[in-house]
């Protein structure tokens, strides 16, 4: 009991004595200043009473004091503070000295509207052609102003640790391993930075041939092999509008025209902005940054942004006019990347660097903490601008991003200043650390995860094969593996298996990829598959991983499946950066797994077919990696087309033609983001129902079940339509979703937004009686409208509702409703 009371006493004592007290006086009259607001960065800590007194708790090292008719004051945080405030002169009417209204300045908004209106006109991409180069340096280190203190502290710490005996470090094996890794990293970063990456890049643009980016050279500390996925990272504002200027974010910030000045000999508007939070607690004079706009062209000239917390980071981007257009000239970024915290005591200079769970408060109070902030520094410099030179088609061949060199030998030609001794040491120190602890393999694991794979040495596991659910198989568990380029650079075998707990059947597939080129996608494949598939499914050939994941539970309420045993061969080839082609020939045995008869031919068929598929994505940006093509920037429009022909040859007994097409486009306007999908297909000849089209629905045909209207993300399906119910041999449909141009906060830190949807389709079936099973033909206009609340109540989920309209609407409300739930990341 005594120990408990002692602990409680120490706990409450810590609460009391951790508070700070401030007393605010008028510097001239020496009278207390009542109602003075004390802020930690942009958070209100409280206001002084009639005696000018306030008690508060804060982690900030400095606080800002604001009061009406007084100049702002800044004070270091101590247990007891006295602050004298200077009365404000009547002539001082600068925007920083007035209480800002809780709405944007109309004149500032008019200028920003003009900036957005003239963005294309001012963009370098309005020229016929250009090319320029850049030098980029990414580094992670302690605050540059704290380097000497950091090195001195580590030297004392190393000396203290050398005096500590092994019995003082009784740890589990895993803790000991982590401790050793931590110590190795701290030792490596004493004389070097924690990370350094340099990159020299050439940018080419032509109205005729498009864009091309060449990595002239690069070197990344710790990694012998290039991290291809990282090469595409562009933290700069080279092709992006700062998010504060985007129309859809207009409601998240307030903008104020604060000044007009001469900058580089040109009249320039200065607009300050601040993020809107809790207006009652927000520092009215705390701005998040400035936007500099050229008054003649209304081009963005300079952008400054600071984190709402002091010393958490800032961005400075500067553009300059060249040849009548505005090019990014330089950029400097500093972002907080966490802290290093060390525990010290008076008896010993250094103790273990982490306090163990379960320690009493009295044990914790024996230690002082020494903290150093870690920062990411990014330096971008742009130079060697050339314009309207004749561009050669050969210079734009291949993928949009290519690497010319990766050993760092050419970097010295492009550095805008020499490396410091600390920077130079990073390559040797961190290289040794990464090699010792095999971090290159661990990073490879993360880059493969971006492709939907989990990598272990020479094996890639397909995460999409782990789990799925449909009404025929029930829960399906399985695994998919592929031997990657570490096994062989040319040959890549793969296989998968799955087991359905409702149909009690194993499914599997085996394949072999033969890579014919290291410069572009050129892959010959043979495979065997024994599996079940949903009837009449729209083709997803050459869809990317995320699109396929969106449809992973498309058949949640669908039981119409057929069995397919297939031998196949295919050839996938990228004709250019924008156009991909796939040719496939298949020999199949197919059988319906539901009550179905086709004409008088039964429900089991042999099929010999050939398929030609295309994907056209003119604005995608790709890079070739040892693992294959990687799309680092997906853009729109996207066009997918498939043409399939069945032959009565080589044992085949089906003669049919099937074609489908999907066009996806996305664009931004004053109304927000608009996403449009137009899709359709046609089938003719001797074709069983699975060679026609199910107009995919996601509702359960039995509306009495509580989950009948619940569905998950999808690409093309109707949320209110019964699953497996509507079929057509020809159809056309479209889906429009509109993200409204505003975001808002509810709970948590995430911003929510509202998305509106409208989807419609119509089709027909020529010989309806040939397909003997219960189904409907979509021969009237089917339509539904819906609403989705993305990041519902600040969570990572989106929830929505759709409602059926028009011809297929029924009198029962519940029959017309579809409910959606999805991860907002999808």
Q: Is the per-residue pLDDT at 1 higher than 80?
A: no
Query: Mean pLDDT over residues 41-47, rounded?
Result: 80
Q: What percent of the chain has pLDDT over 70?
A: 85
* CA 683 – CA 643 distance, rounded (Å): 10
Q: Is the pLDDT of residue 296 over 80?
A: yes
pLDDT tops 60 at residue 52? yes
pLDDT at 456: 86
pLDDT higher than 60, residue 354: no
For residues 640-653, average pLDDT: 95
Distances (CA, A) of 283 to 45, 64, 87, 250: 10, 9, 19, 20
Confidence band (pLDDT; 50, 70, 90) for 150?
Answer: confident
CATH 2.60.40.1120 residue window(s) in the chain? 19-92
| Confidence band of 91 (pLDDT split at 50, 70, 90) | very low
pTM, rounded to two decimals: 0.80
State residue 759's pLDDT score: 97
User: Could you read off the pLDDT of 191-244 as tens digits, one per residue?
Assistant: 888 889 999 999 999 999 999 999 999 998 888 777 777 777 766 667 778 888
Q: What is the per-residue pLDDT across 60-72, written as a single tens digit (0 to 9) for each?
A: 888 888 887 888 7
CATH number at 516-823:
2.40.160
Least confident span in 259-273, 697-711, 720-734, 766-780:
697-711
Which pLDDT belongs to residue 237? 67
Identify the pLDDT of residue 772: 95
Q: Residue 9 has what pLDDT?
A: 38
* Distance separating alpha carbons of residues 224 and 435, to the nearest angstrom: 9
342 vs 785, which has greater pLDDT?
Answer: 785
What fold, for 19-92? Immunoglobulin-like (2.60.40)
Mean pLDDT of all residues belonging to the chain? 84
CA angle 85, 89, 94 (to 5 degrees): 100
Mean pLDDT, residues 330-348 taken together: 77
* pLDDT in the model for residue 182: 67
pLDDT value of position 297? 95
**Inter-residue contact 751 to 743 (CB < 8 Å):** yes
Q: Per residue in 649-662, pLDDT tens?
A: 999 999 999 999 99
Q: Among 102-106, 400-404, 435-439, 796-800, where is mean pLDDT lowest? A: 435-439
Q: What percent of the chain has pLDDT over 90?
A: 47
pLDDT digits (tens, 9 = 90+) for 446-494: 677 777 788 888 999 998 899 999 999 999 999 999 999 989 999 999 9
**What tens digit of pLDDT does each residue of 559-602 get?**
999 999 999 999 999 999 999 999 999 999 999 999 999 998 99
Could you tell me which residues are beta bridge partners of residue 380? 136, 331
Is the pLDDT at 2 greater than 60, yes or no?
no
pLDDT on residue 714: 85
Strand partners, 721: none
Both tokens of 124, joined, read 């370098």
What confidence category does residue 373 fall into, taking pLDDT thresholds of 50, 70 and 90? confident
Hey, CA dihedral for 282, 284, 286, 289, is it positive or negative? positive
Give the pLDDT confidence score for residue 362 in this predicted structure. 44
Residue intervals in the chain for CATH 2.40.160: 516-823
Query: Band of the pLDDT at 677, cuts 50, 70, 90?
Result: very high
The label of the residue with tokens 């996938």 reads 572
Q: In the predicted model, is pLDDT for residue 17 greater than 50?
A: no
Q: How far apart are CA 572 and CA 433, in angstroms?
A: 41
Measured in degrees and rounded to the nearest 5, phi and psi for residue 685 equal 90, -160
Does residue 14 register a pLDDT over 80?
no
Rounded mean pLDDT, 291-308 = 90
User: Residue 637: is the preceding peptide bond cis (ω within 30°)?
Assistant: yes
Per-residue pLDDT tens over the stretch 433-456: 776 666 656 666 667 777 778 888
**Mean pLDDT value of segment 604-627:** 94
Dist CA 611 CA 692 (whole Å) = 15
The Cα–Cα gap between 796 and 794 comes to 7
* pLDDT value for 236: 62
Res 13 pLDDT > 60: no
Cα–Cα distance for residue pair 401/218, rounded to 1 Å: 14
- DSSP label at residue 120: H
pLDDT tens, position by position, 497-525: 999 999 999 999 999 999 999 999 999 99
Please, are residues 790 and 767 in contact by the beta-carbon 8 Å criterion? no
User: Has residue 359 got a pLDDT over 90?
Assistant: no
């Amino acid at each position: 009991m005594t120990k408990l009371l002692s602990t409680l006493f120490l706990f409450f004592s810590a609460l009391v004595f951790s508070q700070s007290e401030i007393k605010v006086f008028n510097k001239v009259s020496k009278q207390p200043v009542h109602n003075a607001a004390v802020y930690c960065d942009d958070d209100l800590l409280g206001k002084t009473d009639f005696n000018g007194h306030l008690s508060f708790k804060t982690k900030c090292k400095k606080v800002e004091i604001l009061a009406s008719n007084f100049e702002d004051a800044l004070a270091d945080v101590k247990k007891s503070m006295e602050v004298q405030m200077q009365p404000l002169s009547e002539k001082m009417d600068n925007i920083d000295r007035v209480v800002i209204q809780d709405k944007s300045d109309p004149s500032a908004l008019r200028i920003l509207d003009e900036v957005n209106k003239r963005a294309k006109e001012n963009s370098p991409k309005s020229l016929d052609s250009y090319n320029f180069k850049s030098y980029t340096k990414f580094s992670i280190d302690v605050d540059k102003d704290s380097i000497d203190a950091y090195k001195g502290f580590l030297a004392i710490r190393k000396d203290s640790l050398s005096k500590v005996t092994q019995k003082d470090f009784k740890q589990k094996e895993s803790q000991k391993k982590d401790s050793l890794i931590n110590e190795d990293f701290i030792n490596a970063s004493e004389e070097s930075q924690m990370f350094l990456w340099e990159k020299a890049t050439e940018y080419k643009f032509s109205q005729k041939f498009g864009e091309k980016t060449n990595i002239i050279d690069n070197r990344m500390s710790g990694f012998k092999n290039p991290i291809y996925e990282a090469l595409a990272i562009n933290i700069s504002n080279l092709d992006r509008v700062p998010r504060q200027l985007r129309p859809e974010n207009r409601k998240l910030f307030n903008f104020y025209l604060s000044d007009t000045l001469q900058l580089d000999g040109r009249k320039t508007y200065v607009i300050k902005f601040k993020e809107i939070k809790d207006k009652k607690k927000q520092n009215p004079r705390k701005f998040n940054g400035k936007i500099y706009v050229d008054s003649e062209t209304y081009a963005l000239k300079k952008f400054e942004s600071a984190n709402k917390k002091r010393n958490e980071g800032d961005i400075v981007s500067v553009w300059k006019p060249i040849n009548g257009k505005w090019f990014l000239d330089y950029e400097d970024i500093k972002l907080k990347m966490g802290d290093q915290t060390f525990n010290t005591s008076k008896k010993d200079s250094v103790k273990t660097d982490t306090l163990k769970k379960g320690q009493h408060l009295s044990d914790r109070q024996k230690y002082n903490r020494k903290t150093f902030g870690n920062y990411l520094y990014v330096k971008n410099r742009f130079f060697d601008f050339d314009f309207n030179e004749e561009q050669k088609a050969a210079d734009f061949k291949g993928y949009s991003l290519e690497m010319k060199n990766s050993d760092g030998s050419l970097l010295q030609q492009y550095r805008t200043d020499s490396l410091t001794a600390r920077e130079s040491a990073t390559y040797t120190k961190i290289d040794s650390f990464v090699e010792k602890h095999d971090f290159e393999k661990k990073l490879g694991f993360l880059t493969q995860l971006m492709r939907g794979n989990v990598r272990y040495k020479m094996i890639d596991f397909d995460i999409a094969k782990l789990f799925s659910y449909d009404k025929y198989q029930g829960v399906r568990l399985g695994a998919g593996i592929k031997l990657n380029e570490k096994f062989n650079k040319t040959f890549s075998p793969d296989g998968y298996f799955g087991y359905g707990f409702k149909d009690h059947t194993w499914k599997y597939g085996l394949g072999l990829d033969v890579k014919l080129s290291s410069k572009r996608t050129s892959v010959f494949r043979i495979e065997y598959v024994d599996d079940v598939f949903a009837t009449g499914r729209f083709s997803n050939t050459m869809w990317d991983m995320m699109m396929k994941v969106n449809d992973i539970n498309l058949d949640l309420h669908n039981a119409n499946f057929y069995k397919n045993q297939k031998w196949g061969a295919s050839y996938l080839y990228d004709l250019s950066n924008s156009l991909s082609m796939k040719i496939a020939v298949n020999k199949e045995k197919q059988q319906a797994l539901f009550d179905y008869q086709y004409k008088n031919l039964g429900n089991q068929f042999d099929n010999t077919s050939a398929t030609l598929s295309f994907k056209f994505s003119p604005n995608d940006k790709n890079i070739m990696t040892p693992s294959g093509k990687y799309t680092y920037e997906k853009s729109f429009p996207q066009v997918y087309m498939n043409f399939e022909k069945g032959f009565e040859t080589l044992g085949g007994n089906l003669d049919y033609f099937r074609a489908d097409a999907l066009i996806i486009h996305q664009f931004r306007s004053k109304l927000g983001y608009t996403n449009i999908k137009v899709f359709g297909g046609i089938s003719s000849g001797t074709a069983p129902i699975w060679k026609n089209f199910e107009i995919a629905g996601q509702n359960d045909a039995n509306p009495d079940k509580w989950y009948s209207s619940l569905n998950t993300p999808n690409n093309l399906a109707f949320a209110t339509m019964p699953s497996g119910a509507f079929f057509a041999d020809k159809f056309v449909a479209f889906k429009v979703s509109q993200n409204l141009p505003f975001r808002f906060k509810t709970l948590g830190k995430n911003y929510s937004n509202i998305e509106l949807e409208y989807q419609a389709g119509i089709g027909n079936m020529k010989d309806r009686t040939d397909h003997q099973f219960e189904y409907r033909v979509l021969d009237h206009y089917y339509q539904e409208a819906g609403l989705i609340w993305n990041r519902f109540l600040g969570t990572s989920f989106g929830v929505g509702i759709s409602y059926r309209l028009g011809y297929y609407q029924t009198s029962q409300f519940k029959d017309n409703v579809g409910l959606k739930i999805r991860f907002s990341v999808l």
